[in-house]
Amino acid sequence: MKKTLLTIAVMAMSASMFAQADSTKVQSDKAQSTKDTIEGFVFTTVDSIAITPVKDQNRSSTCWAFSTLGYLESELLRMGKGVYDLSEMFVVSKTMMDRATYQVRMYHEASFSPGGSAYDVIYCMKHYGLVPQSAMPGIQYGWSAADSLPVHNELDAVASGYVNGLKKMKKLTPVWKKGLQAIYDTYLGACPEEFEYNGKTYTPKTFVQMLGLNADDYVSITSYTHHPFYETFALEVPDNWRMDQMYNLPIDEMMQVIDEALAKGYTLAWAADVSELGFTRKGIGVVPDADKGADLTGSDMAHWLGMSNDKKKEELTKKPLPEKTITQEMRQQAYDNWENTDDHGMQIFGIAKDQNGKKYYMIKNSWGTTKSKYKGIWYVSEAFMRYKTNDVLVHKNAIPKNIRKKLGI
């Protein structure tokens, strides 16, 4: 695996940073420190894979687009294709039109929301193509040129109102899709049919051909017991509305896929639940045993019981503490009782250790570089990864051969 070290001073994102591939900089080891420190945590990078700069999804429910396109950008780096900045809003526009069509065909018994999955991006790449950020920046609103981050509150409300309003109709006209497309075009800009990039003309599909990405190279992996292992099934979560067929592995083998992919130089797109007490805005993801909180933090029981949940969270995540031992049964129970939710998409790109030698995964988030202690990077423990992973998207060649054989890949 290519050795890199985590960037402590990731440069602030700007609209012009990614205008052309040659003006974009890879987040590299030369600009990184060997250690990150946050309160009681001291992290040292063991291995990391090149990623493109952290972006900010801002006030939009589009983590799935940011994380998976960031993953594909790392794939292009791994393939030696250079640095690219791919347009999230092209994928969002295409996906939401498809999701609206599905909602209407299901007589509004499905879910229409701006959430999505990694597979939505792969599906878009295969069926519609991709475009660079310069061809579709996706911002058609704002009070000034400085308003360059997504703000989708109004867009989501207008689009949802339009789609939900169709439910009242006894018969639909043949132009309802044009009306909805006009909404997305107004806020995001029209998806280009052709565009210029580095002096050449492309369509979205020929752009993907030039990049050399093959949608069929990528598969989703999950781990739950309500379906047979080593077979595929559609994970029953709202944002898997396309019914992506995921390969089901025992938890230890899913973790083996993650570890060996990283060891081979592959990153992974990661869908996870971040509602857990141990996932903080400061860049930490752990699973401390909250039931033993007083013992773990050194507080007396009366004081601990009197704390607010926010204060308990702060105490349980301020330094390395013993964590729960995560089993397959715990994962399943958390899924079945709605404790684990279809929540957030990110990118796994490296391994680090804390001052005690404990293993953590390095995660690229899409919440900007100023909202966490690590400039947009999170450190997630092995226990958290085992417990809170819904699924990962990975290149087939990154999967260990013995597991690929079991899956028939």
Residue 6 pLDDT: 36
Domain count, the chain: 1
Copy the structure tokens of residue 21: 């591939």
Q: Closest Cα to residue 364, out of 275, 277, 272, 270?
A: 270
Map residue 372 onto helix, strand or coil: coil
In a domain, 305, yes or no: no
Predicted confidence (pLDDT) at residue 263 exceeds the cutoff of 80: yes
In a domain, 3, yes or no: no
Residue 301 pLDDT: 55
In a domain, 261, yes or no: yes
Q: Output the domain CATH number for residue 363.
A: 3.90.70.10
In a domain, 244, yes or no: yes
In a domain, 103, yes or no: yes
Residue 13 pLDDT: 38
Predicted confidence (pLDDT) at residue 19 exceeds the cutoff of 50: no
Residue 306 pLDDT: 63
Q: How far is CA 259 from CA 337, 361, 380, 399, in A?
A: 28, 9, 13, 10
In a domain, 8, yes or no: no
What's the mean pLDDT when you consider all of the chain?
Answer: 88
Cα separation, 27 vs 374, in Å, equals 13
In a domain, 112, yes or no: yes
pLDDT tens digits along 103-137:
999 999 898 999 999 999 999 999 999 999 999 99
Cα separation, 406 vs 366, in Å, equals 34
| Between residues 306 and 100, the one the model is more confident about | 100
CA angle centred on 123, ends 120 and 128, rounded to 5°: 115
In a domain, 358, yes or no: yes
Domain that holds residue 235: 21-287+323-407
| Between residues 309 and 45, the one the model is more confident about | 45
With beta carbons less than 8 A apart as the criterion, state whether 371 and 58 touch: no
